[in-house]
Structures are given as structure tokens and as C-alpha cells.
């Protein structure tokens, strides 16, 4: 038998929000209303679907490893130099490359106690040490507490804004003050998977406005653009970082159809407009129900909100009640929050069904 290192032995396979404890098939799962994965309830961008249909006949050809059309589209859309951009097989993949490129066994990651699990996994895969800083009372990142934990061993700080699973955000001015105090040899990863949902929030932080030599910003087309199954993420960083990452990155990701669909989706303003409108309406429906049911919650700035129950048993009971009504939501023990539930916005109709379950708590 081939031996693996201790840190690989200790890894546990990822369990997605698309899995539930009841013994059902994937087909049966698809018939449920899935409000557990922060997916786009409107489906994929129609322009992306059309682009895939029009290009399906070219699957025999390798994509260009420099992804020129997609990089050019991102550069145009965000008014950035292509040298500062890279793309990958989801932002998850880019996150993995960041850890693989810049860190090694024993290096220290500093982040919040309840944030995107992929980050902890990447640190564990490298045999790194993770220092978890408790969130503030409102379940947002405590940037000052994170600053106070920086030591000579700290190599990377991970921030998600808005944060998954708490849905909270910090502001532009919070971040400016924070970056001014972070040592220049500590890499800051700013994960903006949900940036499009937060754009209209007061104090919105746009990571693409910064040019710090120790900052990388990652985004995804999985959420707002509805392309989670296709896997397209992108990053904005100083040129030297992009150059290192491109040495490590597998040459042909994202795949050719993903690249073509992403180029089309990035122009799909109609879809984004509809998506934001539905998200807004659905969020109002959910928040109304949660507040009227007397359930504590976070202040959401994305396409989901976190409900906070008195204890783990009450959270599980409510999750089961959702499931009995054909709705999947996510209890959060793996984020260190066993008494909390994350619920994503659905279509207006789906959100109304979810609201009924919450009201009848």
C-alpha cells in the first residue's frame, strides 16, 4: 500500500450542500427545492446556453492555454490590464493554485472561524496551520482581531466579502484601514464570489479598485451568472503573482465550452438584471418570514441569509421540517455553527414556499 503524509491522511472528502442525510438519488434530489448551495434559481445565463449550443461541435479541439477571449472580455468589463487577470476551473481551483504556489507545510493561514470551507481544506492539503479568529457578534469578519493575531509565521490572510455562510460584509473603509496595517509580505486573499449581489449595499468594497502588491481578489461565475456546473472563476492580482500562478496552473482550464459560455454570460446584462430583481424580492420574503417567526438572523448582503436558532437540536428540527416540505437548506456544523442554518434565495415562488415553513415553525 502506498503511504500518504499525515496531513493528507487527515483530510475528509468534501460534503456539498447538494447532499442530504436522507437516502435519495441525485434525480430525486433534483426534484426538491435546493436552497442549500447559493445557486442561481433562474438557471444559467441564456446567452451562455446559446454560446454552448453554437460551439458544441468543436469539442475535439484543445482550448488556447492563455484563454485570450475570456481574459480580453474580463479586461474590457472590469477595465483592467489582461496581465493582472487569470481564469480557472472555478474560483475554488484558483484558490488551490494560490495555496500551492505561495505556501508550504508549516506556513500559517489566518482567517475567520466561520468562512468558506474550501480555504481550510486548501491549507490542510498543504500541511499548513490555520489560526481561526472568532467572528464579531454580528457574525462579520473581525478585521481588528485578525490584525492582532498576525505574527512572523503568518503567511496568508483569507477574507470573504460577502462571507459564506454568514452573508455579512465589511466595507470599503474597513478594508482600506485593514490593508494599511497588514505587513507587505503577508498575502491577503479577498474572495468576492458574491460581489454582484453586494454592489448596491452601502459601503460596498470593490476589490478590483486596489493595487496592493500583496492582494489577490478572486471571483466566480458560479453564482450570479448561474454557471456553477460549468466551473469558471477569475482572479485579479499584481502581474508578478499572475505569472507565478500561470506557471502552476493546468494549461487547459477552464475547458473550451466554459470559456465560450463565460464570455457570453459576462455580456448578459438582462439576465443579471432579472437575477438581482428576483434575489431582492425573494430576500424580502425570507427576511419577513424569519423576523415574524422571531428567529435571529444575520444582515445579508448576498443571495442567502443565516438563521440562528437557540441550539443545534432546534436547527436540525427546522431543517427536517424544510425537507418534509420538499426544501433543502443547510445546517452549519461544519462551519462551527451547529445552531445556524443557511438558506439561499430561490425564485419568488420557491421563497414563498420556504417562508410558509418558517412561519409555521
Binding site for ligand PLP (CB under 6 A): 38, 90-92, 116, 118, 160, 164, 191, 193, 220, 222, 228, 233
Size (the chain), residues: 361
C-alpha cell at 88: 480557472
Quote the least distance from Cβ 116 to ligand PLP, whole Å: 4
Quote the least distance from Cβ 288 to ligand PLP, whole Å: 25
Q: Which of 113, 158, 118, 157 is nearest to 137 (CA)?
A: 113
Quote the least distance from Cβ 152 to ligand PLP, whole Å: 28
Measured from the CB atom, the residue of 63 and 233 that comes closer to ligand PLP is: 233
Measured from the CB atom, the residue of 94 and 357 that comes closer to ligand PLP is: 94
| Angle between the N-to-C axes of helices 348-359 and 312-324, in degrees from 0 to 180, rounded to the nearest 10 | 130
Measured from the CB atom, the residue of 231 and 355 that comes closer to ligand PLP is: 231
Measured from the CB atom, the residue of 114 and 220 that comes closer to ligand PLP is: 220
Quote the least distance from Cβ 50 to ligand PLP, whole Å: 22
Q: What is the greatest pairwise CA distance in the chain?
A: 58
Measured from the CB atom, the residue of 141 and 357 that comes closer to ligand PLP is: 141
How many alpha carbons lie under 13 Å from residue 265 in its C-beta half-sphere? 27
Q: How far is CA 221 from the centre of its chain?
A: 10
C-alpha cell at 126: 498543504
Quote the least distance from Cβ 5 to ligand PLP, whole Å: 25
Give the Cα separation of 303 and 167 in Å (integer). 8
Quote the least distance from Cβ 311 to ligand PLP, whole Å: 26
The DSSP annotation for 17-53 comes to TT--SS---HHHHHHSEE-SS---TT-S-HHHHHHHH
Quote the least distance from Cβ 92 to ligand PLP, whole Å: 3
Measured from the CB atom, the residue of 227 and 289 that comes closer to ligand PLP is: 227
Give the Cα separation of 85 and 236 in Å (integer). 5
Measured from the CB atom, the residue of 230 and 318 that comes closer to ligand PLP is: 230
C-alpha cell at 32: 426538491
Give the helix/strand (H/E) hosting 327.
strand 327-328
Q: Which value, in Å, is the radius of gyration of the alpha carbons in the chain?
A: 20
Amino acid at each position: 500500500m502506498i503511504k500518504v503524509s499525515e496531513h493528507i491522511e487527515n483530510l475528509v472528502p468534501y460534503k456539498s450542500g447538494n447532499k442530504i442525510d436522507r437516502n435519495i438519488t441525485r434525480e430525486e434530489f433534483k426534484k426538491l427545492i435546493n436552497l442549500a448551495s447559493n445557486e442561481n434559481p433562474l438557471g444559467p445565463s441564456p446567452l451562455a446556453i446559446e454560446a454552448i449550443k453554437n460551439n458544441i461541435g468543436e469539442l475535439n479541439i484543445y482550448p488556447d492555454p492563455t484563454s485570450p477571449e475570456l481574459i480580453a472580455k474580463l479586461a474590457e468589463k472590469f477595465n483592467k490590464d489582461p496581465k493582472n487577470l487569470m481564469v480557472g476551473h472555478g474560483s475554488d481551483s484558483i484558490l488551490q493554485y494560490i495555496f500551492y504556489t505561495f505556501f508550504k507545510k508549516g506556513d500559517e493561514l489566518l482567517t475567520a472561524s466561520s468562512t468558506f470551507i474550501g480555504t481550510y481544506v486548501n491549507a490542510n492539503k498543504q500541511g499548513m496551520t490555520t489560526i481561526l479568529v472568532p467572528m464579531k457578534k454580528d457574525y462579520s469578519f473581525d478585521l481588528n482581531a485578525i490584525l492582532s493575531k498576525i505574527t512572523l509565521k503568518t503567511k496568508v490572510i483569507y477574507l470573504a466579502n460577502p462571507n459564506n455562510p454568514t452573508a455579512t460584509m465589511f466595507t470599503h473603509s474597513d478594508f482600506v484601514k485593514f490593508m494599511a496595517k497588514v505587513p507587505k509580505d503577508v498575502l491577503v486573499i479577498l474572495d468576492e464570489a458574491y460581489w454582484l449581489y453586494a454592489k448596491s449595499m452601502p459601503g460596498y468594497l470593490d476589490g478590483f479598485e486596489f493595487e496592493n502588491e500583496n492582494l489577490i481578489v478572486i471571483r466566480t461565475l458560479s453564482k450570479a451568472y448561474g454557471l456553477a456546473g460549468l466551473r469558471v472563476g477569475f482572479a485579479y492580482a499584481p502581474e508578478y503573482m499572475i505569472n507565478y500562478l500561470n506557471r502552476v496552473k493546468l494549461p487547459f482550464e477552464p475547458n473550451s465550452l466554459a470559456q465560450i459560455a463565460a464570455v457570453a454570460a459576462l455580456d448578459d446584462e438582462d439576465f443579471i438584471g432579472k437575477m438581482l430583481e428576483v434575489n431582492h424580492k425573494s430576500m424580502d420574503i425570507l427576511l419577513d418570514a424569519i423576523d415574524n417567526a422571531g428567529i435571529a438572523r444575520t444582515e445579508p448582503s448576498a443571495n442567502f441569509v443565516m438563521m440562528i436558532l437557540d441550539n443545534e437540536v432546534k436547527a436540525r428540527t427546522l431543517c427536517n421540517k424544510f425537507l418534509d416540505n420538499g426544501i433543502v437548506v443547510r445546517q452549519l456544523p461544519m462551519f462551527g455553527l451547529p445552531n445556524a442554518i443557511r438558506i439561499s434565495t430561490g425564485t419568488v415562488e420557491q421563497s414563498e414556499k420556504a417562508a410558509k415553513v418558517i412561519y409555521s415553525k
